[in-house]
Structures are given as C-alpha cells and as structure tokens.
Amino acid sequence: MSNGSSSPPPGGGPLESLGDWEDFVVSRYPEAGSEPADRQKSSGENFRDYRAEARACVREFYRLNHRHQTRDFVRAKKHEFLRLERREMSIWEAMEFLDTLVDDSDPDTDLTQLEHLLQTAEAIRRDGHPRALILTGLIHDLGKILCLFGEPQWAVVGDTFPVGCRFSEKIVFHEFFDENPDSRTREYSTRLGVYEEGCGLDRVDLSWGHDEYLYHVVKPYLPDEALYPIRYHSFYPCHREREYEFLMDDRDREMFRWVRAFNPYDLYSKDDRPPEVARLRPFYEELIAEFFPPKIRW
C-alpha cells in the first residue's frame, strides 16, 4: 500500500458540472422528490434527466472516485486539510468565495452558488424547522471550496462510504471498486474490516469529500442536529440503503433522523425564482452570528 503522502491522481474532472452528481442522485431516488407544488419549477416542467445523456461522464466520475478513495488516501487528505490552515473567513465570506466556483452548465437553474444556499435554507425555514437546521441549509455546500483549493471533483462530491472494511454491493457503480487497492487488502475485505460492531460512525473513516471537510470546520460551533446532516448527507449507502448500520451506535441512530429530514431540501429545493439576497441577508447574518464567531479557520 502507498504511504498516503502522494498528490491526488490525475484525471479529476469528468463531470460537466458538480451539479451533474446531484442530478444523478435525484434520478436514483425519485420517490424522495415528492414536494409541495410551490417547491417545483415555476414552469411546471421536470428537471432535466441526466440518466441518458450524462451517464458516460457520471460513470467516469464514479470510476475515479471508487478507484482512488482508499483508506490511505482518506487519511492523507485529513492530515492535509484538517489542520485548517488554508485561510480565515467568515461564513458569509466563504459563501461568496464558493460563488467563484462557476457552474454555468447546470440546465436546471441559473442561480449562483450563494443563491442556491439561500434557497435551500429558505425552504427549511418555511417548514418551521429549528434554526440550526436552517443554518445547515445555508452552509451545507461550503465544503465544495475544496475545488478552489485544487481538489478533483471525485474527492469533493459523490456518495460517501466507509473505507477500511468491505465495500457494500449497494454502493452505486460497485463494480468500479475492483480497481481499488483496498479491495485486495485482506484486513479491509471483511464485513467489519478494522472496525468493531457498533463502534459509532465517529470512529469510522468515510471517503473524503466536502461533507467530512466542512464537518471539521464547523464542529466547534454547531449542535449535533446540524452536524449530522453536514457530515452524512452524502452517505447514501447508509441513510437510503440501510447499509453499514452495524457500525452505528445509539447516538448515530437517533441523530440520523436529522440527516433524513435534511436531504430532501438539499436535492429538491431548486427553483427558477432567485431569492432576494439583499432582503434576506440581515436575517442570515444574524443567524450566522448566533452560532459562529466573526471569522473561522478553513
């Protein structure tokens, strides 16, 4: 096995946009998309289905993700990024920084990244959820600034999964794990691998991406009902397929209700109507200040 100190492998840009991955997830779980009429596109049309035209780029994305997300890679990335030495920014500054990640190929919306975050938060707010969950909607994608730090797409988005134990056959495009060196490592090839039954997900290394990164950035400041959706909203093999539940402890099982409550807003709150940023900003700046200091480390 490698020592985990090498730079990321080449070939990290198979998707036309990061939104392609989320659109693919929506196509896999359409039953989760039942939403009030006022959440649907104002034109009444369905969002574009990428299942046919983007399948090749999505498959290549997952091939790279499943090939390179080894336990050594994950641990090396945690060592590289979780010292939080990249820069200091306020939450709002981070949102504006993410806005420089231009996504002009998403056919479902012309919204900026900041507008999408506000739209998600407003949907949660309208349904009367706790303020911490509203804040989660506002910041949930901020970990994607990893792309602006030079990380390839396959190390930023994608379904997350444990490394260090057998890869579940319910992980999408499971066949690509044949290219992952961990599949040929005996200690990682059993049901539990290096873990113990009921050890708790906090002791489990998940594949590297924006969820895990943002969790570590914000964990000193937020309650568990916000931290769990941030950390596990891409852990579809668990919260949608019910895999790896044998690694969860009682706290995980209790808090996953917040993950499941949050995810429909993450995937199904797109709307052509842009939020009024200037009008909403005072409310959200006050909400941010309720939980965060003026600047935090990234």
pLDDT at 54 over 50: no
Indicate whether 7 pLDDT > 90.
no
Q: Kindly provide the residue ranges of all beta strands, DSSP E only, lying in 55-157, ordered along the sequence.
A: 88-89
Give CA–CA dist 133/228, Å, rounded. 10
Question: How far apart, in whole angstroms, are the C-alpha atoms of residue 19 and residue 157?
Answer: 10
Q: Are strands 88-89 and 296-297 parallel, antiparallel or unpaired?
A: antiparallel
Give the pLDDT of residue 20.
75
Cβ atoms of 15 and 61 closer than 8 Å: yes
Q: Over 50: is that where the pLDDT of 49 sits? A: no
Question: pLDDT tens, 99-115?
Answer: 888 543 344 445 678 88
Task: Quick: pLDDT tens for 238-297.
Answer: 999 999 999 999 999 999 999 999 988 987 666 667 889 999 999 999 999 999 999 999
Contact 157, 21 (CB under 8 A): yes
Percent with pLDDT over 70 in the chain = 82
Q: Which two tokens stand for residue 10?
A: 């080449």
User: What does the domain layout of the chain look like in residue ranges?
Assistant: 19-297
Per-residue pLDDT tens for 61-117?
Answer: 999 999 999 999 999 999 999 999 999 999 999 999 998 885 433 444 456 788 889
DSSP assigned state of 38: G
Q: What pTM does this model have? A: 0.84
Token pair for residue 185? Answer: 């490592």
DSSP 146-213: GGGGT--GGGTSS---BSSSPPPTTSTTGGGGGG-GGGG-GGGSSSSTTS-TT--GGGS-BPPSHHHH
Give the count of beta carbons closer than 10 Å to the beta carbon of residue 189: 13
Task: Report, as an integer, the average pLDDT of 25-35.
Answer: 62
Spatial separation of the C-alpha atoms in residues 59 and 223, rounded to whole Å: 36
Q: Is 133 helix (H, G, I), strand (E, B) or coil?
A: helix
**89 SS3 class:** strand
Distances (CA, A) of 85 to 80, 157, 193, 217: 9, 21, 32, 11
d(C-alpha 28, C-alpha 181), whole Å: 27
